[in-house]
């Protein structure tokens, strides 16, 4: 969930063991609910295999959100609090260049530029 109008998506799928492939089985008949600590609840609808889409709920910084998924007789829950926005006072950009030549060994260059954020606005 982010602090802008949606729609927002929730993907519901099965899990697998670490050593298995990354092809997960989507769950299409789940009952999904998102509630916040202000008492607002939304029941996202399944729009495609395993994808549940909100229509009204959006994130508010410092608010806590509760996810509940009911499927095949089991209930799974998760809780998360959206952090407060952070101000940006500067941005650093790093770029790695790699040069390979059949005549020399590899050369690696790192360029670092540092800009105070106030200079960018």
How confident is the model at residue 93, as a pLDDT? 63
How much is the pTM?
0.67
How confident is the model at residue 119, as a pLDDT? 46
Among residues of the chain, what percentage have pLDDT more than 90? 47
Question: pLDDT-based confidence at 120, cuts 50/70/90?
Answer: very low
pLDDT at 121 over 50: no
What secondary structure does DSSP assign to the chain, as a single string? --SS----EEE-B----TTS-S-PPB--S-EEEEEETTS-EE--EEEETTEEE-SS----TT-EEEEEEEETTEEEEEEEEPPPP----EEEEEEEEEE--SSS--EEEEEEEEEEGGGT-
pLDDT at 63 over 90: yes
Question: pLDDT-based confidence at 78, cuts 50/70/90?
Answer: very high
12-54 confidence digits (pLDDT tens): 998 889 899 988 889 999 999 999 999 999 999 999 889 999 9
Is residue 79 within 8 Å of 50, Cβ to Cβ?
Answer: no
The two beta strands, 64-71 and 31-36, are antiparallel
């Amino acid at each position: 969930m982010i602090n802008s109008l949606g729609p927002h998506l929730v993907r519901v799928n099965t899990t697998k063991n670490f050593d298995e492939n990354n092809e997960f089985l989507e769950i299409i008949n789940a009952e999904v609910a998102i509630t916040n600590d202000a008492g607002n609840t939304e029941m996202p609808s399944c729009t495609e295999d395993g994808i549940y889409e909100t229509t009204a709920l959006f994130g508010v910084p410092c608010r806590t959100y509760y996810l509940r998924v009911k499927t095949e007789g089991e209930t799974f829950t998760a809780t998360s609090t959206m952090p407060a926005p952070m101000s940006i006072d500067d941005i650093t950009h790093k770029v790695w260049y790699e040069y390979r030549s059949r005549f020399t060994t590899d050369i690696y260059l790192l360029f670092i530029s540092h800009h105070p954020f106030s200079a960018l606005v």
